[in-house]
């Protein structure tokens, strides 16, 4: 039925229509009734698409495929859809970031606003409950969308039996298998462990434990000054912990963050109470006692120092997750970083098996995975798809937020590209001033000759929302003049975006 939708390279591997399951209408009705009770596929069925992984990449692909009329099964072992992002990552962390910010603001930032408050107390248990309420509502929402788009949801752990068959150990017990004309691997990633420290998610934690602590630690050491580390450092610092961030590089935020922006946010987070040890490497850790001891020294060598902490957060990155997938059963291998190798259409060397999201190349970002999910289904059904990897935004949800898209100054210099810079501070923006929230800036990087925008970097209030305009500008090849000549409502924070474009093309008005 769908052979015309499958890429030519895949067709020789497709199962013949003569081998499909056939039965009388009454038998099919009974089979459907049984399946609805069992909620998993039988071995006799063949789907147009089987997806291994119900995270952001997998569930978006499943919904999109269902919308396109494909018969889809999605296998997920967690017991709830949404993957790391929705269950223990992006979504719950944003709940804690938002509510911890409100708590911190009430404690320290109401007097100047003419708001006097009495005794303010932290109810951590209720804060965690609010987080779980948000997560549960969203995961149930995805299940509803599966039903709406006729996606079969199989709860269990999938592994390849052969190139078209996935064996599933069901969560509720027992086994089944499901065959697919096409198979999509979307198994995501896991936190990278630190050698010598045993992750127990109580004393030595990853981001998963960082969103579920039952008490506020007195001292917390964060190993890794990237986005995840800094977001969790912000949450627990606001709630009362003494937080020290240890980072091997000379800047925070990771290598993608522009150096000027990195210095700006580090200064602000420092004022909020977070301590930083940059150009510092962790030599070893000892978690055998009631607390954790971390030995550090200068990255280039130097005097050792021991840091004591109640809790140590390991946030040194994430790695692709392929454990138990049975790749060896079908001859698929990973590269030296554990990523499954694919071509430009997300195909492995077995053409009907594709891979998207964290388990393959590119930034480990939920929205990147979503874009790949849609593109992969378009390749299957229409033979074309598109993701512009040069216009994938990054956001750090500290306060102020940090967001960027495109290239930073270091990358442009390394590539030998001549560029011009324009910036505008939020301290000169009327809305930021009236909100008493004016730290940060908007920074444009544009080609020196053509004025085409090459990168946009923001540190400040609402940066995560504002960067969408920057993504659109890059996607359509806009110049800084294009943005500068576009009317922005007054008074808004987005006027700082326009003024930064004006500063790049010519001169800003209000600074």
The three state secondary structure string of 431-452 is HHHHCCCCCCEEEEEEECCCCE
Q: In DSSP terms, which residues pair with 165 in a beta bridge?
A: 179
Close Cβ partners of 94 (under 8 Å, ≥ 6 residues apart) = 397
* Phi/psi of residue 376, nearest 5 degrees: -60, -40
* Phi/psi of residue 68, nearest 5 degrees: -85, 0
Burial class (CB in 10 A: 0-12, 13-18, 19+), 288: exposed
Buried b (16+ CB within 10 A) or exposed e, 240-275: bbbbbbbbbbebbbbebbbebbbebbbebbeeeebb
Mark the binding-site residues for FAD, compressed into ranges: 94, 158, 187-189, 358, 364-367
- Rounded CA-CA distance 6/13 in Å is 11
Does a cis peptide bond (omega within 30 degrees of 0) precede residue 180? no
Close Cβ partners of 199 (under 8 Å, ≥ 6 residues apart) = 191, 193, 205, 206, 209, 314
- N- to C-terminal Cα separation, the chain: 63
Extended strands (E) in 370-503? 394-396, 401-406, 419-425, 441-447, 453-460
- Rounded CA-CA distance 342/346 in Å is 5
Q: In DSSP terms, which residues pair with 419 in a beta bridge?
A: 447
β-pairing, 292-298 vs 280-286, is antiparallel
Is residue 164 annotated as a catalytic residue, yes or no? no
Tell me the torsion sign for CA atoms 389, 392, 396, 399.
positive
Mark the binding-site residues, compressed into ranges: 94, 158, 187-189, 224-231, 247, 317, 358, 364-367
- Rounded CA-CA distance 467/48 in Å is 37
How many other C-beta atoms can be found within 10 angstroms of the C-beta atom of residue 357?
33
Contact 148, 62 (CB under 8 A): no
Catalytic residue among 108, 164, 490, 505: 490
Mark the binding-site residues for NAD(+), compressed into ranges: 224-231, 247, 317
Residue 236: which of 273, 287, 285, 181 has the closest Cα? Answer: 273
Does a cis peptide bond (omega within 30 degrees of 0) precede residue 378? no
Question: What is the DSSP code (8-state) at residue 347?
Answer: B
Q: Which residues are catalytic?
A: 490
């Amino acid at each position: 039925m769908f052979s015309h939708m499958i890429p030519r390279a895949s067709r020789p591997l497709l199962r013949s229509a003569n081998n499909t399951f056939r039965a009388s209408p009454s038998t099919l009705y009974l089979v459907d009734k049984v399946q609805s009770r069992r909620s998993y596929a039988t071995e006799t069925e063949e789907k147009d698409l089987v997806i291994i992984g119900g995270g952001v990449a997998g569930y978006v692909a499943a919904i999109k495929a269902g919308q396109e009329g494909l018969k889809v099964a999605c296998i997920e072992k967690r017991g709830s859809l949404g993957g790391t992002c929705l269950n223990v990552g992006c979504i719950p962390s944003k709940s804690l970031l938002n509510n911890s910010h409100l708590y911190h603001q009430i404690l320290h930032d109401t007097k100047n606003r003419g708001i006097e408050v009495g005794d303010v107390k932290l109810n951590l248990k209720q804060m965690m409950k609010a987080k779980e309420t948000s997560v549960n509502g969203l995961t149930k929402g995805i299940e509803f969308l599966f039903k709406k788009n006729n996606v079969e949801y199989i709860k269990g752990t999938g592994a390849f039996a052969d190139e078209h068959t996935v064996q599933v150990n069901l969560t509720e017990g027992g086994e089944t298998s499901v065959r697919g004309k096409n198979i999509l691997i979307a198994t995501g990633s896991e936190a990278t462990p630190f050698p010598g420290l045993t992750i127990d998610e109580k004393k030595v934690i990853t981001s998963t434990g960082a969103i579920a602590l039952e008490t506020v630690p007195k001292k917390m050491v964060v190993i890794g000054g990237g986005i995840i580390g800094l977001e969790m450092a912000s949450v627990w610092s606001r709630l009362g912990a003494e937080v020290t961030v240890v980072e091997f590089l000379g800047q925070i935020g990771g290598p993608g963050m522009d150096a000027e922006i990195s210095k700006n946010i580090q200064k602000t987070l420092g004022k909020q109470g977070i301590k930083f040890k940059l150009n510092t490497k962790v030599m070893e850790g000892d978690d055998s006692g009631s607390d954790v001891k971390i030995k550090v020294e200068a990255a280039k060598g130097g005097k050792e120092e021991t840091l004591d902490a109640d809790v140590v957060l390991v946030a040194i990155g994430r790695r692709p997750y392929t454990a138990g997938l049975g790749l060896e059963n079908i001859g698929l291998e990973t590269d030296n970083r554990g990523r499954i190798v694919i071509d430009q259409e997300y195909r492995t060397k077995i053409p009907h098996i594709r891979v998207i999201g964290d388990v393959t190349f590119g930034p480990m970002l939920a929205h990147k995975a979503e874009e790949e999910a849609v593109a992969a289904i378009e390749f299957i059904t229409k033979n074309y798809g598109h993701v512009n990897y040069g216009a994938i935004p990054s956001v750090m949800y500290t306060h102020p937020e940090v967001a960027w898209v495109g290239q930073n100054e270091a990358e442009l210099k390394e590539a030998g590209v001549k560029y011009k810079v324009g910036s505008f501070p939020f301290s000169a923006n009327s809305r930021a001033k009236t909100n008493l929230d004016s730290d940060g800036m908007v920074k444009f990087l544009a080609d020196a000759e053509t004025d085409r925008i090459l990168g946009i970097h923001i540190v400040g209030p609402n940066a995560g929302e504002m960067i969408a305009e920057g993504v659109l500008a890059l996607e359509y090849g806009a110049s800084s003049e294009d943005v500068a000549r576009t009317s922005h409502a007054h008074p808004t924070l987005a006027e700082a975006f326009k003024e930064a474009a004006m500063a790049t093309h010519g001169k800003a008005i209000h600074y």
